[in-house]
Structure 1
Amino acid sequence: MATIKDVAKQAGVSIATVSRVINLGEKVNAQTRAKVTAAMQELGYRPNANARALVTQKTATIGVVIPELTDPFFASLASGVDEIAKEKRLQLLLSTGTGSEESELQALNVLIDRNCDAIVIHSKHIASDKLIALAKQHPGLVLIDRCVEAIQERCVWLDNLEGGKIAARHFLALGHKQFACISSEYDIEDPRLRLQGFQQCLIENNIDSDNTPVTFAPPNQQGGEIAVQKLLTDGHQFTALFVYNDAMASGAISTLEDNGFRVPEDISVIGFDDVILASYTRPKLTTMHYPVNAMAKQAAHLALQLTETNAAPLKQKQESGKHLPRLVNRASCVRR
């Protein structure tokens, strides 16, 4: 089995230089780094993770907490963190916690107990004061898809309020005057802000949002079916439907067509998130793009940076954590 000495001899460098390459040290030029990396590959040398941890005082891991594995949105989030893990030659540790503060804290503690220094957490249920305390205890903790003002420099989030406004503006530009909304029944910030933004835009354009029906259901395809069926059963008239996410939107479109409505000829639909499903609905779904993969990469980079700077992020040099959604105009909306 090849040793670090063998790698140093093969590459024609010192053992200390090989060590710096292994531990991602900055004081190695690109040519030398390439020679050492090539020597490691030729000899089949694999750095000992435990030894590296002893040298750097850090485990070679980065953790991510998400609610579930099967949702395409959270799969994309985890994938973004994993890309950075591979780039930095780190092991991704994945933990799931959903539906309650207790579950999310338990998922986080699994990573902490594994001595994971850099952690990206998607949390909708842990109270803000607890997240603030956790951030003080764990320098590499970064919050994604939520902004807590006191630790804003550790947050990467989407402007959901503006996303709702952009969707409403698109409908208005197409000449729609009768609207309906489908939202998630979960009492979390994202659906509340998206709906609020949509309604605010209507009010700003002298449209009484009280006349815009809103139906709540589980944020999945079946929920979209249930919600749109309720709108139809209650006799609401609308030509434009704004839906909390793409999964609900696909279920809503299916049920509208089952009830004799054509999308988009009779009813235009806008979803949210722009998951891969949106490109394969019929018609292809107009939606708000949520750059979750790019945000996850930013959050992972930030978490690793914070482990190096010992919880002292440089606010002036740091990239803003707030992201804006953008409209992806496909085939589910038409002009009235």
Structure 2
Amino acid sequence: MSTIKDVARLANVSVATVSRVMNNSPKASATSRALVQQAMTELGYTPNANARALVSRTCDTMGVVVNDVADPFFGALIKGVSGVAVERGLHLLMGNGFHNAEQERGAIELLIGKRCEALVVHSKVLSDEVLIDYAMRVPGMVLINRDIPALKGRCISLNNRLGAATATRHLLELGHSRIGFLGSDHAIEDASSRLQGYRDALSDAGVVADAELVECGTPNEEGGERAMLNLLAKGLTVTALVAYNDAMAAGAISVLADNGLKVPEEVSVVGFDDIIYARYLRPKLSTMRYPIELMAAQAAKLALQLAAGEGEAQQSRIYTPTLINRHSVAPLRS
């Protein structure tokens, strides 16, 4: 396999000249460019991306770490980052963390090893201390859906507590008081924040929170099914539901239909995230919009800005979820 030294020898120029040609340096003369290009063609030499990066001290690749690329929510996150990468002419490398500390760490280490100077990281399991250490190593690392005070200006997150409170308050305003909550069993901040938001709204309305109306499961369709089945098995009156996310809401709606309960005539349902299929469920799902694609694009731009040494924002950015009112919610029937 040919090397940069072989190219320099055949072109009768220095290795530094070959490097300047490969990196489009204005210091490379037209004659040098022609000689080097001819030598590369004759040798079938393809410049190595890492070698170019070492010479130019830049990288044409940015990285993103998510929980699971197959999840529609994280697909939207990647779409937001990818749009910025394409716009800037950059390649995008992705890693899955699967809400597992070792896998999150491994994904971040892999992207650092690939010389990704700009990183957008969605990490829910690694400690603040570990992420702070990585951030010190990689100036262009930005956290999304995480707010660490010590990394002020490098975090972009959502007010999950407010979002769940807004969803619950919407149901209360429609006359519902027997409101169930289908939560995530993952030990992450999003899960506890959304549950607390649900409780906040009930408390503000003077409604005593009933722990029996809360069921948790894995934050997907199957988890929503199991949580809904457990809730129905208790034989309690439930006229409305707030779900941790749209996937759990979809599973719950399926179980309600199988048990002859109409949505929204008998049970109103509100999801969270507004992922792509929320508008295609029947009935169309009312939900809290999580502007993840917008947030991801902002995180990518910030990561590139930091990687270029252009300074950082003074404050972290916290986005606000908004209610998308479709057809899965109705006033309480007398």
Question: Is TM-score (shorter-chain normalized) higher than 0.5?
Answer: yes
The structure-2 alpha-carbon separation of the partners of 1:255 and 1:100, relative to structure 1 and needing over 3 Å to count, comes to same
Give, in angstroms, the shift of residue 227 of structure 1: 0.6
Aligned with residue 329 of structure 1, among 303, 307, 325: 325
Aligned-partner SS, 1:142: strand
Structure 2 residue 147 is matched with structure 1 residue 147: yes
Distance (Å, rounded) in 2 between the aligned partners of 1:147 and 1:220: 24
CA contact (8 A) 1:224 1:251 kept: yes
Aligned-partner SS, 1:153: coil
CA contact (8 A) 2:271 2:287 kept: yes
Counterpart for residue 312 of structure 2: 313
Structure 2 gap ranges (5+):
1-19, 27-46
Which of the two has higher C-alpha Rg? 2
Counterpart for residue 156 of structure 1: 156
Distance (Å, rounded) in 2 between the aligned partners of 1:248 and 1:197: 17
CA contact (8 A) 1:264 1:331 kept: yes
Distance (Å, rounded) in 1 between the aligned partners of 2:235 and 2:25: 69
Counterpart for residue 220 of structure 1: 220
Q: Name the % identity.
A: 46
Distance (Å, rounded) in 1 between the aligned partners of 2:55 and 2:84: 22
Distance (Å, rounded) in 2 between the aligned partners of 1:55 and 1:153: 30
Give, in angstroms, the shift of residue 212 of structure 1: 5.9
Counterpart for residue 275 of structure 2: 275
Counterpart for residue 167 of structure 2: 167
CA contact (8 A) 2:263 2:283 kept: yes
Distance (Å, rounded) in 2 between the aligned partners of 1:166 and 1:56: 50
The structure-2 alpha-carbon separation of the partners of 1:231 and 1:154, relative to structure 1 and needing over 3 Å to count, comes to same
Distance (Å, rounded) in 2 between the aligned partners of 1:88 and 1:48: 20
Give, in angstroms, the shift of residue 97 of structure 1: 1.6
Give, in angstroms, the shift of residue 58 of structure 1: 1.2
Q: How does 1:40-79 map to 2 (within 5 A)?
A: 53=53, 56-79=56-79
Counterpart for residue 40 of structure 2: none
Counterpart for residue 8 of structure 2: none
TM-score by length of 2: 0.83
Opposite residue 167 of structure 2, the aligned amino acid is A
CA contact (8 A) 1:144 1:156 kept: yes
Deviations 1:36-95 (A, max 9, x none): xxxxxxxxxxx9956863564111011001111210000110111110000000000111
Q: How does 1:97-108 map to 2 (within 5 A)?
A: 97-108=97-108
CA contact (8 A) 1:181 1:212 kept: no
TM-score by length of 1: 0.83
Distance (Å, rounded) in 2 between the aligned partners of 1:225 and 1:161: 24
Give, in angstroms, the shift of residue 152 of structure 1: 2.6
Distance (Å, rounded) in 2 between the aligned partners of 1:257 and 1:307: 51
Distance (Å, rounded) in 2 between the aligned partners of 1:66 and 1:115: 18
Distance (Å, rounded) in 2 between the aligned partners of 1:308 and 1:68: 28
**Segments of 4+ moved more than 6 angstroms:** none
Give, in angstroms, the shift of residue 308 of structure 1: 1.2
Aligned length: 293
The structure-2 alpha-carbon separation of the partners of 1:155 and 1:20, relative to structure 1 and needing over 3 Å to count, comes to farther
Counterpart for residue 33 of structure 1: none
CA contact (8 A) 1:176 1:240 kept: yes
CA contact (8 A) 2:246 2:275 kept: yes
CA contact (8 A) 1:247 1:277 kept: no
The structure-2 alpha-carbon separation of the partners of 1:56 and 1:173, relative to structure 1 and needing over 3 Å to count, comes to farther
Distance (Å, rounded) in 1 between the aligned partners of 2:307 and 2:25: 18
Distance (Å, rounded) in 1 between the aligned partners of 2:252 and 2:157: 27
Counterpart for residue 288 of structure 2: 288
Q: How does 1:1-336 map to 2 (within 5 A)?
A: 53=53, 56-210=56-210, 213-309=213-309, 312-315=311-314, 321-336=317-332
Aligned-partner SS, 2:210: helix
Distance (Å, rounded) in 1 between the aligned partners of 2:176 and 2:48: 62
CA contact (8 A) 2:182 2:227 kept: yes
Distance (Å, rounded) in 2 between the aligned partners of 1:275 and 1:85: 22
Distance (Å, rounded) in 2 between the aligned partners of 1:78 and 1:333: 31
Aligned-partner SS, 1:130: helix
Deviations 1:160-193 (A, max 9, x none): 0100111011101111121110001111111110
Aligned-partner SS, 2:307: helix
Aligned-partner SS, 1:78: helix
Distance (Å, rounded) in 1 between the aligned partners of 2:99 and 2:301: 27
Aligned-partner SS, 1:309: coil
Distance (Å, rounded) in 2 between the aligned partners of 1:314 and 1:127: 23
Structure 1 gap ranges (5+):
1-14, 22-46
Opposite residue 302 of structure 1, the aligned amino acid is L
Distance (Å, rounded) in 1 between the aligned partners of 2:298 and 2:163: 20
Give, in angstroms, the shift of residue 99 of structure 1: 2.9
Counterpart for residue 39 of structure 1: none
Distance (Å, rounded) in 2 between the aligned partners of 1:296 and 1:325: 15
CA contact (8 A) 1:178 1:212 kept: no
CA contact (8 A) 1:179 1:212 kept: no
Opposite residue 90 of structure 1, the aligned amino acid is L
